[in-house]
Amino acid sequence: MMFDRSWLHEASFNLLYASLVLATFVILERGLTYVWLMNRRRRIAQAIRSGGAEAALGLASKDAISRAIKDYVTRQQSESLNRARAEDLSAALFLDVDGRVQARLWILDTVVTAAPLLGLLGTILGIMDTFNALSSGGISDPAAVSRGIATALLATAVGIGTALYGLLGHNVLHRAADDLIEGVKSLLLQTTIAP
């Protein structure tokens, strides 16, 4: 009894296309978020340079960077924090912002890792289908065999293409995230109020 694996071959293609769509969504969402956060960081830095730590409070928004700076400045002003406690608070706020900025980048990392494997699986399943059709006597035309193998190899090409696209997006976004995080660290240091 032969098991029909053709639906598995189609499923691997569908998963690859879904991975491509997911990678595109994450790249667009994170890219737009980073552009917006970089603009916010620049405005906060300008406010701090022109009016000190208190000037940054006027620019408070709902983004992670603005909230962290506002929380840091207000807690330093309202509580008498010693140097060690201020450093602990800034480290905790930095880690929180880092987690929010790097959110969803793991999805791109997963797509980059899984796409070539899905493509290889699709190729193996497609070649198995072609050989099953040959062995059952269903295909006698060599051109049909070539088309079946070409379709099977297309899965590998789509998998590698998806992985390269995701890798490029991941690297660009990871670099932007690092720049944002370093900027937040600088802002936290600039708003530290000496005890």
Tens digits of pLDDT across the chain (195 residues): 455 667 777 888 899 999 999 999 999 999 999 999 999 899 888 888 887 777 777 766 788 888 888 888 888 877 777 788 888 888 999 999 999 999 999 999 999 999 999 999 888 888 887 777 777 766 666 776 777 788 888 989 999 999 999 999 999 999 999 999 999 998 888 887 765
Domain locations in the chain?
6-190
pLDDT at 31: 96
- Distance (Å, whole) CA 71 – CA 78: 10
Verdict on whether the full-model pTM lies above 0.85: no
Which tokens in the block code for residue 9? 């071959």
110/164 Cα distance (integer angstroms): 12
The burial of 42, by beta-carbon neighbours within 10 Å (0-12 exposed, 13-18 middle, 19 or more buried), is given as exposed
Structure tokens at 32: 């737009």
Contact 159, 17 (CB under 8 A): no
pLDDT of residue 1: 41
pLDDT at 3 (0 to 100):
57
pLDDT at 137: 67
Nearest Cα residue to 152 out of 179, 106, 120, 104? 120
Identify the CA nearest to 184 among candidates 54, 59, 103, 97. Answer: 97
The model's pLDDT over 14-24, given as tens digits with 9 standing for 90+, comes to 999 999 999 99
CA dist 130 → 6, 117, 146 (Å): 10, 20, 9
8 A C-beta contact, residue 118 and residue 12 = yes
